[in-house]
Chains A and B, each alone.
Chain A
Amino acid sequence: MENDPRDAKLDMLFSAARKAEFYPPEREFGFETRVMARIRAEREGQKAFLLWEWRLIPLFVSLVILLGIWTYTSESRPAIDLSALTHIGNEEAVLTAYLTGE
């Protein structure tokens, strides 16, 4: 690798490139203001989301209560029509009754 003449030329290219101006200094102007504005905006966004989260709690609580009531009332229905069992060999009717809950 040491004898490869391309290495010396490549190193020259790197050496020249290192002296170049990688970015214009004016790009830094007002940078901290832009960063702080973004940080504040993100923080405000998070606060708004958390506020909404708290506001949604009553809705979720009422949903859970309604689901509880619905489950309690639906349990009183017979799950399977047992009369279908009396027909020997009528497996399809049993299966339909089981799946539909009739």
Chain B
Amino acid sequence: MTAPEEVPNDERLVSAALAGDDEAFGELVRRYKRKVFSIVARHAGSTHEEDDICQEIFIKVYQSLGKYRGDAPFEHWVSKIAVNACYDSLRKHNRREKEVPLEDVEFALCAPSGEEVSSNEALHILRRALAKLRPEERLVITLLNLEEKSIREVSALTGWSESNVKVRAFRARNELKKILEGDNGK
């Protein structure tokens, strides 16, 4: 009977990738692609960009492997790179779609409280409303309310202080409420 093959941990794969083993890096991509896809899908403005952003993230991970010290789990390190890449992408495009009609969004907060909104419909409404926010507001709302991160986690991922995260979250939430009510800029 042969012994079961040992699954290499992330640190070992990182060392192997740094030594030029492409297979090891491929394994890291395989392990964390779902995590990166789920982060990017929540932040990216359009589905066309998602695959490109995910690829850019892993290329950045590959280029920065030498900087990984192993003091935090590899997953956290990759998540931080992914969140920063999403923020950069939001800032680069910074297309706050002010002219998008709000008819289907306005109902959200004005609808009777008993009315159920389907998950896909809710996501669609939120995506359209989030597109009207500033990049930093969009980032903080997505991390706190869609990814359910804590203030401390958002602070660690973005590099902003905890009080800064709180202030931005407060402003973003108020702005979002205005947008969903349909009185944004009116």
| CB-nearest residue of chain A to B122 | A16
Taking the closest CB of chain A, its distance from the CB of B44, in whole angstroms, is 9
Q: Is A9 an interface residue (CB 8 A)?
A: yes
**A contact face: mostly helix, strand, loop, or mixed:** helix
A28 touches B37 (CB 8 A): yes
Give every chain B residue within 8 A of A17 (Cβ-Cβ).
Answer: 119, 122-123, 125-126, 146
Give every chain A residue within 8 A of B2 (Cβ-Cβ).
Answer: none
Q: Is B38 an interface residue (CB 8 A)?
A: yes
A20 touches B54 (CB 8 A): no
CA distance A16 to B121 in the complex (A): 9
A12 touches B117 (CB 8 A): yes
Q: Is A13 an interface residue (CB 8 A)?
A: yes
Give every chain B residue within 8 A of A9 (Cβ-Cβ).
Answer: 108-109, 111, 113
Give every chain B residue within 8 A of A20 (Cβ-Cβ).
Answer: 119-120, 122-123
Known contacts A34-B55, A35-B55, A39-B62: A16-B113 contact under CB 8 Å: no
Give every chain A residue within 8 A of B59 (Cβ-Cβ).
Answer: 35, 38-39, 42
- Residues of chain B in range 1-44 having any CB-CB distance to chain A below 8 Å: 22, 25-26, 29-30, 33-34, 37-38, 41-42
Q: Is A23 an interface residue (CB 8 A)?
A: yes
CA distance A5 to B59 in the complex (A): 45
CA distance A28 to B38 in the complex (A): 11
Q: Is B181 an interface residue (CB 8 A)?
A: yes
Q: Is B104 an interface residue (CB 8 A)?
A: no
Between A and B, 18 residue pairs with Cβ closer than 8 Å are: A4-B177, A7-B177, A9-B111, A13-B117, A16-B117, A17-B119, A17-B125, A18-B146, A20-B119, A22-B38, A27-B50, A31-B51, A31-B55, A32-B33, A34-B51, A36-B22, A36-B26, A38-B55
Q: Which B residues form the contact surface with A (CB < 8 A)?
A: 22, 25-26, 29-30, 33-34, 37-38, 41-42, 47, 50-51, 54-55, 58-59, 62, 108-109, 111, 113, 116-123, 125-126, 145-146, 148, 173, 176-177, 180-181
Q: Which A residues form the contact surface with B (CB < 8 A)?
A: 4-14, 16-23, 27-28, 31-32, 34-36, 38-40, 42
Told that A16-B123, A23-B41 touch, could you supply 9 new A-B pairs with CB distance under 8 A?
A: A8-B113, A16-B122, A17-B123, A22-B38, A22-B42, A23-B47, A23-B50, A32-B33, A42-B59
